[in-house]
Structure 1
Amino acid sequence: MSAARPEALRGKRILLLQGPVGPFFRRLAKELRAADAEVHKINFNGGDWLFYPTGAISWRGHPGDWPQFLARLLQERRIDIVLLFGDCRPIHRVARTVAQRHGVKLGAFEEGYIRPNFVTFEQFGVNGFSLMPRQAQFYRHLPCRPGKAEREIGSTFRYAALWSVLYYAAAAIGRPWFSHYRHHRPLRLSEAFPWLRSAWRKALYRFRERAMLGLLTNALHRKFYLVPLQMSLDSQVRQHSDFRSVGRFIRHVVRSFAERAPADASLVIKHHPLDRGFHDYSRLIGRLRAQFRLGARLLYVHDQHLPTLLESMRGAVVINSTAGLSALSHNAPVKVCGVAIYDMGGLTFQGPLDDFWLEADSFRPDPDLFRRFRAHLIERTQINGSFYARGIDATASAALASVARAVHAPGTQRSAAPERASSAPGQSESATLCMYASHAMPAGSPPAPCESTSCSSA
C-alpha cells in the first residue's frame, strides 16, 4: 500500500472494535500509541479479552443498546476513526451506520485480496462495500507501474488454528461475564473440535486423492472447469451474492453445467481448506451427480494445489472468492456469480453462466488491464504481511501508513459499487443483526431492514 506518514496520526483518537483472532490488534495499538495516537478498545467477549486484557472497555450490555452506547462513546471521546476486522459482523455493520451518522471515519481490515502475502485494509469497508472503482476505463488510464518485491509469508494455517482455538475457548469460558453478547458464529468449546478434525481430514484426503492431481493435469488437462468454494460461513456469500449458502451455489452451478456444458467437459469442485473441519459437501455432490447423471464428470477435491489447478483448468466459476483473482493472474477465464471488486468488462466473463461453458474457450482477460488493476489494488488496499504468523509486529507497523491515510481521507460516503440483495423468497433474517440494529435508527424513523449475514472470520 502506498506510503503516508505515520506522523499524521499524532493526536488522533482511534477506537478498535473486534480484530482478527490473535494478538494483531494488541500489536497495532502499541504501534499507534508509539505514533502518539490516542487508542481506545472495546471487548465484547472472553476471546477479545484474552488477546487484549488491559486498557480496554468490556461492554456487557444488551445488543439493542449497542448503537446508543457506541454513539455516546464516539461523542464523548471525540473519536476520529473506528478500526475493525470483518465488516459484515452484526456489531460492525451497526458500527458503520453509527460512525457515518456522526461523521466518524471507519477502516476495515480483512484477509488479503491477494494471498498469501497480503492482508487488506480499506476505508469504509471491503469486498462489496469497497470504494475501489469497478469500471475498466478507470484502470486503463492508470500508469503501468512495475511490481514491488513482496515478503513471502508462507502458510499461516497452524497459527490461525491456534489463535482460533484459544479465542473460542476463552469466549466460552467468559460467557457468564458477557452473557448478552451474540457472536456471528457459535461461541462454544466445541468450536475447537473442527480445527482438530481438520488435521486428520487433511491426512485422509491426501491419501484418498493421491492420484487426483495427476488425473487433472494429464488426462483432464484443459478439459475441466474449476469451482473453488468459499467457507460455509463466509459473509461474502450471503451479503454480496444472491446465494444464501454455498450449498445453493453448488446446486446452481452443477445444474447449469449439466444442462449447458460440452459433453467432454468435467466439473471439479474444490473445498476451501479452512472449511475442511467444519463442512463436507460429499452427500450433496453425490446426490447431484446421480440426479444429473454426471458420473465421473463431476469431481469433488480438497487439498489439491490451487495454482496447478488454475494452470490446467478450462475456466473458473466463483461467487466472489479471491481465488477468482488468482485465476485472472493465470490468464484464465472467470465467471463471477456474486459481487466482486474484480468483476468488470475486460477481466471477467460478463455473460450468463449458461453461456460460459461454451464461450470460455474464446474469452481471455486483458493482461494489461489486469496488471494495472492489480497494481492499483495493492497500492490502495493491500499490506504485505499476516495477521497470524511470524511478523505480526511488522504487519502492524506497516498498517500505520494505511490508517493515517484513512484518517485524512475526505468524506465517509459509501461506495457506489453494486451490492446484490438476495432475491430468494422468504429469506430468513439474522436475529443477531436485528438485535444489534433494533435501536440503530433515530426515533420516529422506520426500522432498518435486517439482512441475513454470517462472517468468514473467527
Structure 2
Amino acid sequence: MIPTSFNRLLNQQATLLLQGPMGPFFAKLAAVLRAQGQHVVKVNFNAGDDHYYNDPKAVRFTAAMTEWPGTLRQLLIQHRIDAIVLFGQTRDMHRHAIEVARDQGIAIYVFEEGYIRPDYVTLEVGGVNAESSLPRDPAFYRQQPLTPAPKPLPTQQEFSTVVGIAATYGWAAWCGRRRYPHYVHHRSLNPVAETLKWIRGTYLRKWYRRWSERHMLPWLTAPAQHKRFFLVPLQVYNDSQIRCHSHFVDVAEFIATVVESFAQHAPTDKLLVLKHHPMDRAYNNYTGLIDDLAREWGVEGRVFYIHDQHLPTLLRHACGVVTVNSTTGLQSLYHKTPVIALGECLYDVAELVFTGTLEQFWHHPGDVDEDLFQRFREHMIRETQLNASFYADTPGLQPYIKPVKRADSVAEAPVAKAQNDAWSASTLPTLK
C-alpha cells in the first residue's frame, strides 16, 4: 500500500526536487519519478547535496539567498514544473519556495520523519506536522473505516548508519564550501566540531548515563510507580516545531514551565520524569537546569531526569505525557496513555488529546479514546505514511523502480529521458 500523497506525486508531470534529507533518498526518489515518465530537476545547495545527488544535470545554486526566489521562478517556467518536493519546510530556501509555489498554484510535497516509527517516512501535500492538512475534527475520524493498514516491511535502519551518512554529508559540505560561498545550513556542518560532539554524546555521555541510570527503568516500572509518574519527552534543541509552532523560545523554557506547573498544581504523590531526546545527547545536558528548578520549587525527590530508557515501556507505565508537539504524543496514544500538547500539532484533535489546561491535566488526565485513535492512525497511514527510511531501505519505492542502463548516476526511464533531453537546453547547471 502506498499513501494517497505519494500516489498523487507519481501522477505529476514535471517535478522540482529541492533539498532532501542527508543521504541518497532523493536520488532514489528521482529514479522512481523518472521511471513513471516524469521530467525531474534537482537543485543542490551545498556540496553535501552534490555528494549524494551526483548528477551532472543537477542545478547548483551558488548565489546569495536573496537571488533564490527569482531563480526559482525561472526554473519553474523553463521546466514547466507542476510539483515541488522538499524536506524541512522551515528552511530558508524552502519557505521561499513554498510562497512562490502557492502564488503560482504549484503543488508542494513535503517529506518529514515518519509520524509512525519505525519503517515509515511522512509525505504530505502542502505541509507537515502543525501545517498538516489532516482534519482536526473528531467527527471526521469517527466516520473513517477501521481497516488496519498492511504492516510495513522493515527498513533495517540503524543508528550507526544514520551517523555515518550525517558525517559523510558534513565532510562533503565542508570540503566543498568554497563552491557555495553563501550557503548557511540550519545547524553546524563543521565536521571536526560535530565529530567531537558526537564522540562525547555517543561514547561518553551515553555509557555514563547507561551506568548511572541502570536502576531507573526497573524502579519506574515497579508496581509502586505504575501510573504514578508523568512523562515529559524532550525534543531536540533545534526542533523547528518548537520555534515555529509553539510559544516557547526553546526547550529550556518548556522545561521551566512544566516543572513550575507541576510543583504548584500536581498532587503531591505524583512524580515528574523528563526524558532527554537521544539525538540531542551530543548538544545539551539539562541536569543543572532541572536540579535548580526542582530546588527552587521544592520538588526535589519528585522530579527525575533520564536519558536512554526504553520509551515504549515508559509510556505504558506513565499516567500521562506532557509534550510541546513531539510525535512521541502519537506513540503515547498508541500505548493508551493520555497526552497534553502545549504547542500546535497534527494530532491536536478534540476528544483525542487533553484539551484543558496543564494545571487540570495533573489531576485528571483522562483516558484515551482507543477507537477514535485507531481510526485517526489508520487514516493518517493511508494518507501520509510511506514505507521507507531516508537512511536505509525503501520498500515503498521498490515496486516503482525500473532499472535503465545509463551512464548517469540517477537512472531515467526512456520516456523521461526523451523529455529531459528535449528540455536540456533550458537546464541551468550552475546558478550564481
The normalised TM-score by structure 1 is 0.83
Q: Supply the AA of the counterpart residue of 1:15.
A: L
TM-fit CA distance, 1:162: 0.9
The answer to whether the 8 A contact 2:121-2:388 is kept is yes
- Trace 1:247-258 onto structure 2 (pairs within 5 A): 247-258=252-263
TM-fit CA distance, 1:5: 9.4
The answer to whether the 8 A contact 1:386-1:395 is kept is no
SS of the residue 1:296 aligns to: coil
TM-fit CA distance, 1:147: 3.6
1:198 pairs with 197, 201, 223, which one? 201
Q: Distance in 2 between matches of 1:157 and 1:251?
A: 30
SS of the residue 2:356 aligns to: coil
TM-fit CA distance, 1:192: 3.0
2:336 pairs with 325, 331, 339, which one? 331
Q: Distance in 2 between matches of 1:128 and 1:6?
A: 22
Q: Supply the AA of the counterpart residue of 1:388.
A: Y
TM-fit CA distance, 1:113: 0.4
Match of 1:12 in 2: 13
2:377 pairs with 369, 374, 379, which one? 374
The answer to whether the 8 A contact 2:136-2:350 is kept is no
SS of the residue 2:364 aligns to: helix
Match of 1:86 in 2: 88
SS of the residue 1:107 aligns to: strand
Q: Distance in 2 between matches of 1:45 and 1:28?
A: 19
- Larger deviation: 4-13 or 274-283? 4-13
TM-fit CA distance, 1:213: 0.2
Q: Supply the AA of the counterpart residue of 1:169.
A: W
Match of 2:390 in 1: 387
Match of 1:30 in 2: 31
Distance 1:163 1:8, change over 3 A: closer
SS of the residue 1:243 aligns to: coil
The answer to whether the 8 A contact 1:331-1:365 is kept is yes
SS of the residue 2:84 aligns to: strand
Gaps of 5+ in 2: 402-432
The answer to whether the 8 A contact 2:263-2:297 is kept is yes
SS of the residue 1:295 aligns to: coil
Q: Distance in 1 between matches of 2:323 and 2:10?
A: 39
SS of the residue 1:144 aligns to: coil
1:209 pairs with 207, 213, 229, which one? 213
Q: Supply the AA of the counterpart residue of 1:372.
A: R
1:295 pairs with 300, 309, 321, which one? 300
TM-fit CA distance, 1:396: 3.5
Q: Supply the AA of the counterpart residue of 2:214.
A: R
TM-fit CA distance, 1:399: 8.4
> Aligned pair 1:269/2:271, yes or no?
no
What RMSD in Å do the two structures reach over aligned CA positions?
Answer: 1.8
Q: Distance in 2 between matches of 1:356 and 1:397?
A: 45
SS of the residue 1:255 aligns to: helix
Q: Distance in 2 between matches of 1:283 and 1:396?
A: 46
Match of 2:105 in 1: 103
TM-fit CA distance, 1:165: 0.8
Match of 2:51 in 1: 50
- Trace 1:118-129 onto structure 2 (pairs within 5 A): 118-129=120-131
Q: Distance in 2 between matches of 1:399 and 1:322?
A: 29
SS of the residue 1:159 aligns to: helix
- Larger deviation: 375-384 or 152-161? 152-161
Tell me the alpha carbon deviations over residues 394-416 of structure 1, each in whole angstroms, 9 at most, x when there is no partner.
3444789xxxxxxxxxxxxxxxx
Match of 1:167 in 2: 169
Q: Distance in 2 between matches of 1:254 and 1:8?
A: 44
The normalised TM-score by structure 2 is 0.88
The answer to whether the 8 A contact 2:18-2:43 is kept is yes
Q: Supply the AA of the counterpart residue of 1:211.
A: H
TM-fit CA distance, 1:253: 0.5
- Trace 1:419-438 onto structure 2 (pairs within 5 A): none
The answer to whether the 8 A contact 2:131-2:346 is kept is no
The answer to whether the 8 A contact 2:44-2:59 is kept is yes
Q: Distance in 2 between matches of 1:8 and 1:383?
A: 12
Match of 1:179 in 2: 181
Q: Distance in 2 between matches of 1:152 and 1:71?
A: 39
The answer to whether the 8 A contact 1:45-1:174 is kept is yes
Tell me the alpha carbon deviations over residues 42-77 of structure 1, each in whole angstroms, 9 at most, x when there is no partner.
111111111112221111111111111111111111
Tell me the alpha carbon deviations over residues 350-401 of structure 1, each in whole angstroms, 9 at most, x when there is no partner.
00111110111xx112111111100000000001221112x13x3444789x
Q: Distance in 1 between matches of 2:164 and 2:225?
A: 37
Tell me the alpha carbon deviations over residues 93-129 of structure 1, each in whole angstroms, 9 at most, x when there is no partner.
1110011112211100000001112110000110111
Match of 2:312 in 1: 307
The answer to whether the 8 A contact 1:136-1:345 is kept is yes
Q: Distance in 1 between matches of 2:297 and 2:241?
A: 28
Q: Distance in 1 between matches of 2:177 and 2:202?
A: 27
- Trace 1:270-285 onto structure 2 (pairs within 5 A): 270-285=275-290
The answer to whether the 8 A contact 1:151-1:384 is kept is yes
Q: Supply the AA of the counterpart residue of 1:40.
A: V
The answer to whether the 8 A contact 1:6-1:35 is kept is no
Q: Distance in 1 between matches of 2:384 and 2:400?
A: 10
The answer to whether the 8 A contact 1:168-1:192 is kept is no
Distance 1:6 1:334, change over 3 A: closer
Q: Supply the AA of the counterpart residue of 1:208.
A: S
Q: Distance in 1 between matches of 2:361 and 2:6?
A: 46
Gaps of 5+ in 1: 401-458
Q: Distance in 2 between matches of 1:259 and 1:8?
A: 50
TM-fit CA distance, 1:287: 1.1
